Amino acid sequence: MVESGLIESVLVANRGEIARRVLATARRLGIRSVAVYSEADAGLPFVREADEAVLIGPPPPAQSYLDQAAIIAAAQRTGAQAIHPGYGFLSENAEFAQRAEAAGLIWVGPPPVAIELMGDKINARNLMAEAGLPVAAGTAEPVTDADEAVAAAAAIGYPVMVKAAAGGGGIGMSAAAGDAELRAAFETARSRAERFFGSAAILLERYLSPARHVEVQILGLASGRVLALGERDCSVQRRHQKVAEETPSPGVGPALRGHMLAAAVRAGEVVGYRGAGTVEFLVDVPTGGFVFLEMNTRLQVEHPITEQVTGIDLVEQQLRIAGRGEVSFAEQAVKPQGHAVELRVYAEDPSRFLPSPGTISEWSEPAGPGIRVDAGYAAGNQVTPFYDPLLAKLCVHAATRDEALARARAAVADFRIAGVRTNLPFHADLLDSTEFISGAYDTSVVSRLRP
């Protein structure tokens, strides 16, 4: 029996580990669950763990997980009351959120207008600067050609970062230290932006280096109040994509933390945020200052480490807030305990990080106190080239950072995956590197480990 005030059923418009993770909380709360899947994913655990599963199309995302009409039809056919979008795919698509609401479904996410305000990185930057948040020097309008980019860079000062305004996942992003590099970076960014995001709008920002990537988890309550639930350090990245995260950040002291959490709350208030969201910042290592980077208006991949240190199930709070209910915890009681680390286990070779699709012949997860594995696959499953390479997230929690790292080393050694190559050997090297152990690392740490 579902508790009153909670939604009664939810369709999860996603796949792999995040679909499975959302389904687990739905099951615990007694909420009926519906999965949708493509032909490529029929054998994955999330499909059989849902109360009901609907095949929505062939493997390419455009014909399945991005097919708005097919997903809404599946929700209506199964009588699902709400849609949880997970991350990626349609999670930050304001049009889809609107279509779901117009079809009478509850959108488990922020109001569509908040998605739209934050979805364009140029608009988000301008809006946050207006609200008093620090932003890096950059362009306030889309840059349309390479000559304009060179002129803008002269005003900003090199090095600059070139980004797709509608982008995400590091796609099309690169840094440039001079005019020639900038022209090449601009053309690459523009072609990627058009292809992946359907918009050629490009922005330039001053590139901070060395820098740490630190983000704040926020939760917008049904009452309109916005809470900050601590930060996560996501500086371990390859190709501008996160590989490992930890909380608390070893590079953030109490004063800086206070400023960042307050800025994140302000960002959420400005756009009328509801539900779980993440405000990303860059911390400039030489000065200790920080700037707003972007906001992700959805559940974040690395949300489990915040759950481990706070004891709060963020998906449960999303579902409660979507049903206009109260959160399950007392605000005053939120006090992060200990240290948590997430290691993203990717199907890729551990030295050059090239994709490694294939069939999983062996899958054996580590288990024990403080160990959590959010996995999307099991033995016998196919890892296909159609989707991102994330197989599982290995998350460890302990009283101190040293203990968490020791626990992580043992867990990495105990994780057995065969049939596809994985980056587990990279994680073993990371956990043994003096730079990572010291805590004094920045966003270039992976390039030093894998020159």
Partner 1 sequence: MAEIRAEMVANVWKVVTAEGEQVSGGDTLVILESMKMEIPVLAEDPGTVTKLAVAEGDVVQEGDLIAIIE
Using the minimum distance from each CB to partner 1, give the nearer residue, 75 or 301.
301
Residue 389 makes contact with partner 1 by CB under 8 A: yes
In the complex, least distance from residue 353 CB atom to partner 1, rounded to whole angstroms = 9
- With CB under 8 A as the contact rule, the residue among 63, 68, 384, 444 that binds partner 1 is 384
Q: How many residues bind partner 1 (CB under 8 A)?
A: 16
In the complex, least distance from residue 16 CB atom to partner 1, rounded to whole angstroms = 12
Residue 387 makes contact with partner 1 by CB under 8 A: yes
The answer to whether 222 touches 321, Cβ cutoff 8 Å, is: yes
Residue 43 makes contact with partner 1 by CB under 8 A: no
Residue 171 makes contact with partner 1 by CB under 8 A: yes
Residue 385 makes contact with partner 1 by CB under 8 A: yes
Residue 375 makes contact with partner 1 by CB under 8 A: no
User: Per this entry, what is the length of the chain?
Assistant: 451
In the complex, least distance from residue 60 CB atom to partner 1, rounded to whole angstroms = 9
User: By CB under 8 A, which span of 50-58, 112-120, 177-185, 385-393 interacts with partner 1?
Assistant: 385-393
190 an active-site residue? Answer: no
DSSP 77-93: HHT--EEE--SSTTTT-
Tell me how many degrees the CA angle 345-348-352 measures, rounded to the nearest 5.
Answer: 120
Of the residues 192, 298, 320, 421, only one is catalytic, namely 298
Residue 169 makes contact with partner 1 by CB under 8 A: yes
In the complex, least distance from residue 38 CB atom to partner 1, rounded to whole angstroms = 15
Residue 8 makes contact with partner 1 by CB under 8 A: no
Using the minimum distance from each CB to partner 1, give the nearer residue, 268 or 389.
389
Question: Around 283, how many Cα atoms within 13 Å sit in the side-chain half-sphere?
Answer: 25
Using the minimum distance from each CB to partner 1, give the nearer residue, 60 or 134.
60
CA distances for 101 relative to 95, 98, 116, 313, angstroms: 10, 5, 15, 25
Query: Beta partners for 74?
Result: none
The contact pattern for partner 1, residues 309-348, with x = CB under 8 A and - = no contact, is: --------------------------------------xx
Q: Which residues contact 104 (CB under 8 A, 6 or more apart)?
A: none
Using the minimum distance from each CB to partner 1, give the nearer residue, 158 or 386.
386
Using the minimum distance from each CB to partner 1, give the nearer residue, 85 or 168.
168
Pairing label, strands 339-346, 390-398: antiparallel
Residue 194 makes contact with partner 1 by CB under 8 A: no
Residue 18 makes contact with partner 1 by CB under 8 A: no
Residue 440 makes contact with partner 1 by CB under 8 A: no
CB-CB neighbours of 225 under 10 Å: 12
- The radius of gyration computed from the CA coordinates of the chain, to the nearest angstrom, equals 21
Beta strands in 88-240 (DSSP E): 106-107, 160-164, 174-176, 202-206, 211-220, 226-238
Q: Which residues contact 186 (CB under 8 A, 6 or more apart)?
A: 143, 145, 146, 149, 162, 202
User: By CB under 8 A, which span of 74-82, 156-164, 353-361, 402-410 interacts with partner 1?
Assistant: 353-361
Beta strands in 221-274 (DSSP E): 226-238, 241-247
Helix 121-130 / helix 112-119 crossing angle, nearest 10 deg: 100
The contact pattern for partner 1, residues 224-253, with x = CB under 8 A and - = no contact, is: ---------------x--------------
- With CB under 8 A as the contact rule, the residue among 102, 255, 330, 354 that binds partner 1 is 354
Residue with tokens 């519906």: 34
Can you tell me the distance from the alpha carbon of 79 to that of 68, in angstroms, rounded to the nearest whole number?
17
Burial of 289 (0-12, 13-18, 19+ CB in 10 A): middle
Helix 94-102 / helix 68-78 crossing angle, nearest 10 deg: 30
Residue 58 makes contact with partner 1 by CB under 8 A: no
The contact pattern for partner 1, residues 70-109, with x = CB under 8 A and - = no contact, is: ----------------------------------------
User: By CB under 8 A, which span of 18-26, 152-160, 355-363, 366-374 interacts with partner 1?
Assistant: 355-363
Beta strands in 305-440 (DSSP E): 339-346, 358-359, 362-364, 371-375, 382-383, 390-398, 416-418
Note the residues at the interface with partner 1 (CB under 8 A): 169, 171, 239, 347-348, 354-358, 384-389
User: What positions carry a catalytic annotation?
Assistant: 298
